[in-house]
Amino acid sequence: MKLAISTEGNSVSAHFGRCPSYTIVDIKDGEVVNKEVIDNPGHRPGFLPEYLSEKGVECVIAGGMGPRAQTLFHQKNITPIIGIQGPVDEVIDKFINQELEKGEDLCDHPHSETRCTQKKSVQNQKEINTQKKVCFTAQGDSIEDEIDPRFGRAAYFLIYDPQTKSIESTENPNKDQMQGVGIKSAQFLANNNVGTLFTGRVGPKAEAVLQSSNVYAVTGMSGTVKDVLKKYSLEVK
């Protein structure tokens, strides 16, 4: 079995056609016998199904893919599995162990329907998962700065560790990208062991990624990061 996984960094990319690269994986008798990362050769209508078919690919894995592309892959006897996110190596292990399940398309497509997802409300510090980190979107790199109402294009992520009661400031690596910033930012938080997010608002696609990663988004936040820390009794050393 040969897989092609849409890849961005070490994670599955949200969009199959526009991802930077593909991880090509050969699996034999439940073992990975070869793995290589290739650059995306270009996103042209009908090209990728033909290109990957010639490479012997039998299954493609991505966060999202348009319905027409899925049809073209089926015509080439290639099975698409979408709604997948997380580290590529973990996804490969799940596939081998038959634990990989198709999810909701994580990418926006014209005329596609968006399903509503429920939000979890965190009322107090006791409801925050203290085994995972807490993220605040911020307009600056200090807890004295205001909460950034945007999630995907927030200027900074301030990540609080409940175990050490320390806070680390990280400039949002996705804020200036053209598209998919919400999904990429959600993947960034999941990869950094964040369990709770405080922000102004979150788009439906980013929220789907957050929920599938068990990151609970608390929206409608305002004031400074310091104010929110105090409100939820999160002490910073």
For the chain, give the mean pLDDT: 86
- Asked whether the predicted pLDDT for residue 107 surpasses 80, the reply is no
Q: Residue 102: CB partners within 8 Å, gap ≥ 6? A: 81, 82, 83, 84
- In this prediction the pTM is 0.53
Both tokens assigned to 109: 């497509």
**Topology given in CATH for the domain delimited by 125-231:** Nucleotidyltransferase; domain 5 (3.30.420)
CATH 3.30.420.130 placement within the chain: 2-96, 125-231
Q: Which range, 84-93, 98-107, 138-147, is most confident?
A: 138-147
Q: Give the 3-state secondary structure percentages of the chain, helix then strand then coil, rounded to 5.
A: 25, 25, 50
Evaluate whether 76 touches 28 at the Cβ level (below 8 Å): no
**pLDDT tens column, 138-190:** 999 999 999 999 999 999 999 999 999 999 999 999 898 888 888 899 989 98
* pLDDT of res. 86: 86
Per CATH, is 2-96 categorized as 3.30.565.10? no
The closest alpha carbon to 159, from 93, 97, 209, 234, belongs to 234
Give the model confidence (pLDDT) of 108-132 as tens digits. Answer: 554 343 333 333 445 555 456 677 9
The yes-or-no verdict on residue 42 having pLDDT over 50 is yes
- Residue 41's alpha-carbon distances to 19, 38, 49, 200, in angstroms, are 10, 8, 12, 38
